[in-house]
């Protein structure tokens, strides 16, 4: 990427993000993005960390997710409005910014609705590398909405999962998912109940959308030795798993202060022990400790994952033209003469 004017900011639109993903290939994009996420989690202690700033309403939530490693600063704006689907709109939309800490100047503005789906799936698969049983090839996906295909492809790319058992209360969502994944190397079964879906699965992914406490998995549905990838919990009052499952599981989280507010563990006492994913990655703490252990990745999404995604896209733009140039930053001839810019523009305008 070569932009002569430092005050021009590259912008990746939805159209260009889709073209960039297809240029690279979905599986390779997910694999490469997973490597960026793992790299940043391994330097976890360098980052500024705070739970996301959330504005809740009756209809949903709007959140800001900021972080910095001291060199770069990134944030994501994201919403979650389940009612949008009934109106023909996306439940989740997002955009993000990457900036230079030294100057404060933004370096990238990009859509993050598609990118968030990709980074969520990549993070799930990275966690499963450390937590899922060895040789896992079968995954149940409960909730077959916008995230389901990305999860499936990420687990295939990173772990070799090639058998899927799909369940959704709306069977048309399962058919949509199966149709979208046709020809990509999966053996797919559409199931009529959650219980049927988890039978024979090594990995269980729950990724539902409703902002409410629900019991997607009951305790009797979860046998020894499985890995649960709980993706749907992302706000206070929304859970997917029965509390008894948590009490039987080795729970791994991204950032405990955020997960205790938003994740499955909001059902537990504030001092219930959990393991942080970054500690597993660097070998400070064990991931899967026993073949019969139930592991649970209580994933709510954290700003460092978005930072990794922004970094990855920024690096890809060096080799492509899949961006537009935005005249986003004021550039007066003399830095203190901002008003003079208006006067000079006025002189150019026709009388």
SS3 of 171-214: the string is HHHHHHHHHHHCCCCCEEEECCCHHHHHCCCCEEEECCCCCCEE
User: What are 120's two structure tokens?
Assistant: 């969520």
Q: Are residues 297 and 308 in the same domain?
A: no
Q: Say if 338 falls within a structural domain.
A: no
Q: Say if 142 falls within a structural domain.
A: yes
Contact between 323 and 23 (Cβ < 8 Å)? no
Decide which of 7 and 273 is more confident: 273
340: number of CA atoms within 13 Å, CB side?
7
Q: Is 234 a catalytic residue?
A: yes
Which residue, among 251, 249, 270, has the nearest Cα to 261 in the 3D structure?
270
Contact between 226 and 220 (Cβ < 8 Å)? no
Q: Say if 217 falls within a structural domain.
A: yes
Number of domains in the chain: 2
Q: Say if 275 falls within a structural domain.
A: yes
Domain boundary among 259, 286, 301: 301
> What integer pLDDT is reported at residue 62 of this predicted model?
94
Q: Say if 247 falls within a structural domain.
A: yes
Q: What tens digit of pLDDT does each residue of 178-228 get?
A: 999 999 999 999 999 999 999 999 999 999 866 566 788 999 999 999 999
Per-residue pLDDT band for 113 (boundaries 50, 70, 90) equals very high
User: What are 242's two structure tokens?
Assistant: 């029965």
Q: Is the pLDDT of residue 2 over 60?
A: no
Q: What tens digit of pLDDT does each residue of 274-333 get?
A: 999 999 999 999 999 999 999 999 999 999 999 999 999 999 999 999 999 999 988 888
Q: Are residues 292 and 314 in the same domain?
A: no
Q: Which DSSP state fits 58?
A: S
Q: Are residues 150 and 179 in the same domain?
A: yes
> What integer pLDDT is reported at residue 255 of this predicted model?
97
> What integer pLDDT is reported at residue 209 of this predicted model?
67
Q: Are residues 110 and 126 in the same domain?
A: no
> What integer pLDDT is reported at residue 211 of this predicted model?
57
Per-residue pLDDT band for 80 (boundaries 50, 70, 90) equals confident
SS3 21: helix
Q: Are residues 82 and 107 in the same domain?
A: yes
Region 6-23: mean pLDDT is 94
Q: Are residues 285 and 139 in the same domain?
A: yes
Q: Are residues 168 and 290 in the same domain?
A: yes
Contact between 306 and 65 (Cβ < 8 Å)? yes
Per-residue pLDDT band for 4 (boundaries 50, 70, 90) equals very low
Please tell me the distance from the alpha carbon of residue 342 to that of residue 337, in angstroms, as a whole number.
9
Domain boundaries, position 185: 121-301
What is this structure's pTM? 0.93
CATH number for the domain spanning 29: value is 3.30.1780.10
> What integer pLDDT is reported at residue 98 of this predicted model?
98
Q: Are residues 281 and 180 in the same domain?
A: yes
Q: Are residues 293 and 314 in the same domain?
A: no
| CA dihedral over 43, 229, 135, 139, signed as positive or negative | negative
Q: Say if 2 falls within a structural domain.
A: no
Q: Say if 349 falls within a structural domain.
A: no
User: What is the average pLDDT value for the chain, to the nearest integer?
Assistant: 94
CATH number for the domain spanning 128: value is 3.40.50.720
Q: Is the pLDDT of residue 33 over 90?
A: yes
Q: Are residues 132 and 266 in the same domain?
A: yes
Type and span of the H or E element at 9: strand 8-12
**Candidates 40, 168, 234, 306; catalytic one:** 234
Per-residue pLDDT band for 5 (boundaries 50, 70, 90) equals low
Q: Which residue has the tokens 């979905």?
A: 26
Q: Are residues 187 and 317 in the same domain?
A: no
Q: What tens digit of pLDDT does each residue of 119-161 get?
A: 999 999 999 999 999 999 999 999 999 999 999 999 999 999 9
Q: Are residues 261 and 247 in the same domain?
A: yes
Q: Say if 350 falls within a structural domain.
A: no
Instruction: Give the range among 239-243, 249-253, 312-316 with minimum mean pLDDT.
Output: 239-243
> What integer pLDDT is reported at residue 102 of this predicted model?
96
Q: Is the pLDDT of residue 1 over 50?
A: no
Contact between 66 and 303 (Cβ < 8 Å)? yes
Distance of CA 58 to CAs 80, 232, 238, 248, Å? 11, 19, 14, 34
> What integer pLDDT is reported at residue 204 of this predicted model?
98
């Amino acid at each position: 990427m070569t932009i002569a004017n430092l005050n021009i900011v590259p912008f990746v639109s939805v159209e260009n993000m889709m073209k960039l993903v297809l240029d690279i290939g979905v599986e390779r994009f997910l694999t490469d993005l997973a490597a960026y996420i793992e790299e940043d989690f391994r330097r976890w202690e360098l980052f500024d960390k705070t739970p996301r700033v959330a504005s809740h309403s009756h209809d949903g939530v709007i959140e800001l997710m900021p972080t910095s490693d001291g060199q770069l600063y990134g944030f994501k704006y994201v919403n979650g409005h389940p009612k949008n689907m009934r109106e023909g709109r996306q439940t989740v939309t997002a955009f993000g910014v990457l900036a230079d800490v030294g100057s404060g100047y933004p370096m990238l503005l990009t859509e993050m609705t598609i990118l968030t789906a990709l980074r969520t799936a990549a993070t799930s698969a990275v966690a499963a590398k450390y937590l899922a049983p060895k040789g896992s090839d079968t995954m149940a996906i409960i909730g077959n909405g916008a995230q389901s295909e990305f999860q499936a492809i990420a687990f295939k790319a990173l772990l070799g999962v090639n058998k899927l058992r799909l369940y959704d209360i709306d069977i048309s969502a399962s058919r949509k998912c199966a149709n979208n994944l046709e020809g990509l190397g999966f053996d797919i079964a559409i199931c009529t109940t959650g219980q049927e879906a988890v039978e024979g699965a090594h990995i269980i992914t729950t990724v539902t959308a409703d902002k409410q406490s629900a019991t997607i998995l009951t305790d009797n549905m979860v046998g020894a030795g499985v890995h649960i990838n709980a993706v749907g919990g992302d706000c206070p009052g929304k859970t997917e798993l029965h509390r008894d499952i948590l009490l039987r599981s080795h729970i791994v989280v991204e950032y405990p202060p955020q997960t205790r507010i938003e994740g499955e563990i909001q059902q537990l006492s504030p001092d219930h022990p959990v393991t942080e994913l970054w500690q597993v990655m660097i070998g400070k703490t064990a991931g899967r400790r026993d073949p019969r252990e139930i592991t649970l990745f209580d994933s709510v999404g954290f700003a460092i994952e978005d930072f990794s995604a922004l970094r990855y896209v920024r690096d890809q733009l060096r080799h492509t033209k899949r961006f537009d140039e935005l005249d986003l930053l004021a550039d007066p001839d003399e830095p203190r003469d901002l008003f003079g810019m208006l006067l000079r523009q006025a002189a150019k305008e026709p009388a």
